[in-house]
Amino acid sequence: MSAAHRPPLDGVRVVDLTTFLSGPSATQLLGDLGADVIKVEALQGDSSRAIAGPEVDGDSAYFLANNRNKRSIAIDLKSPRGLEVAKRLIAGADVVIENFRPGVAARLGLDPVAVQAGHPSLVWASISGFGQEGPWRDRPAYDMVVQALGGTMSLNGHPGAPAARLGIPAGDVVAGLYAVIGILAALSAREGTGSGRVVDVSMLRGQLAMLSYQAVYASVNDAAPGPQGAAHDSIATYRSFRGGDGREFVVTANTPRMWEDLCDVLGVPELVVDDRFVDAAARLRNKAELWEILEARVAERPAAEWVELLTAASVPVAPVKNVLEALQDAREADDGSLVTVRNGHAAFENVATPIRFVDTDEVEPTYPPALGADTIELLAGELGFSRDEVDRLVEDGVVGTPAVALAH
């Protein structure tokens, strides 16, 4: 593999002290970009290994979804000898990422500022619910908690219905993405200064950042926007419709030309010159009347016919697809959006990283590791422990291998 074609993070070592989803999603992305990710787990393993639901070859699908392209070492970080193993691992790392509650890493003996001071080139990233400082720093946080506190749930669902959690773990995944952005920025800065940084990412801040224009709308109007349903606060012809067959599709007719073409396709050209709908502001003011007219017209044909006709007229349109349908589309497109991860006797399909680099070698996906699968290799082969030392660490329950992990 020539240096010019290597994955961008080839040669970067990441020590992953995270569990569940926000951190593992971040480190999986780093692994997809070529980093050597070493997942440090308790002897009992990442708690997401035991999440109920579908399984693949006995492994939780939840865990598998966020842990490809990693190696696993099992360490009892609460034991002094285990802590020394972790410190030796960190000494050779470029990045450490953790999602403990604030203060937990320091209580374990891994204070981020102190560790980074001892290894000035190290980038340390902390993901927490509410940040390392502030009145809520000690509160536990999960995805739905920050969706609720950050306003996301209040915007989701339909008007008049209870607030609804997004069906995807946006609180976790967005925090993971911001952590990766912070890490990459710190690594870039290190190129010029030689010094790393401590990165602090809050799940709640991530949700607030996702509000985008809704935050400014609320501030300017001094009023909270309500559930958005399948419509838009500013564009009357940006919403979903239900065809005569009951299937839904979305239309995003944002410009005057798109509005005129929408009316033409629907067979209601008179709306273009109707004073109630003559421009975007008028359409927004009279959206209830407009929607009643459009919904009645749309109900006269199946959704697929409208999608075909509107597509031919270059009006942005799409059917509302379920997850299986969306995955099938990606499968048929065969554009690298999906990846099959195998370990010889088991396999599962997952969504690939959406980032592409021209003229760059791709990372061949590796199956999420068994708990402690790489403990021996890392200790004896890379951290300089003798075989006798490794055996004693295993026997004393300081570190774990797959066989030891099973016993727990």
Catalytic amino acids? 172
Quick one: angle between helices 170-193 and 22-32, nearest 10? 50
Picking from 360, 357, 365, the residue whose alpha carbon sits closest to that of residue 340 is 365
**Alpha-helical regions (H) of 197-333:** 203-210, 213-221, 256-266, 280-285, 287-298, 303-312, 323-333
Cα–Cα dist 62/384, whole Å: 34
The DSSP annotation for 303-367 comes to HHHHHHHHHHTT--EEE---HHHHHHHHHHHTSSSEEEEE-SS-EEEEEPPS---TT-PPPPP-P
* β-strand pairing of 59-60 with 55-56: antiparallel
DSSP 154-201: HHSS-TTSPP---SS-HHHHHHHHHHHHHHHHHHHHHHHHS---EEEE
